[in-house]
Amino acid sequence: MTAATAAAPRSIGRSVLAIVAGLAFSVLLALGIDMILHALQVFPPWDQPMTETSDAALAFSYRAVIAIGSGYLAARLAPSAPMKHAIILGMIGMTLATLGLIGAVTMKMGPLWYPAALVITALPLAWIGGALAHRRA
């Protein structure tokens, strides 16, 4: 086994780790903030839909910042091609947001602009995070 072939699995592993770290950062931070806002009764109880536009706007605003941070983290941890890692993370986010949009439509869980905005912005926000990381490097 040559040094190049030995390094390839390590590079793939680091790529996977970078994307998983970005995804975990996004999910855990958003969930943590959600839990705090529910506990402070800013958001309605978990078993009730968020019907207020202001609640959805607040949730979107911190999720947008988190999405940029996630793209940044994935790009910074990437062993190579940082923008590629940020874009892959954005595509994963867009896919998950699309599933959320489908759920929101079928279950009537509040204003549809909110999950639609998450779908539309997932990729550009991850790209912004990746661009910030690339610029810093």
Per-residue 3-state assignment (H helix, E strand, C coil) for the chain:
CCHHHHHHHHHHHHHHHHHHHHHHHHHHHHHHHHHHHHHCCCCCCCCCCCCCHHHHHHHHHHHHHHHHHHHHHHHHHCCCCHHHHHHHHHHHHHHHHHHHHHHHHHHCCCCCHHHHHHHHHHHHHHHHHHHHHHHHC
Domain spans of the chain, in order of start: 3-136
pLDDT (tens digit per residue) in 27-69: 999 999 999 999 999 999 999 988 899 999 999 999 999 999 9
pLDDT (tens digit per residue) in 5-30: 555 677 899 999 999 999 999 999 99
Model confidence, pTM: 0.90
In this predicted model, which residue has the larger pLDDT, 11 or 76?
76
In this predicted model, which residue has the larger pLDDT, 110 or 75?
75
pLDDT score recorded for residue 44: 94
pLDDT score recorded for residue 136: 84
Average pLDDT, the chain: 93
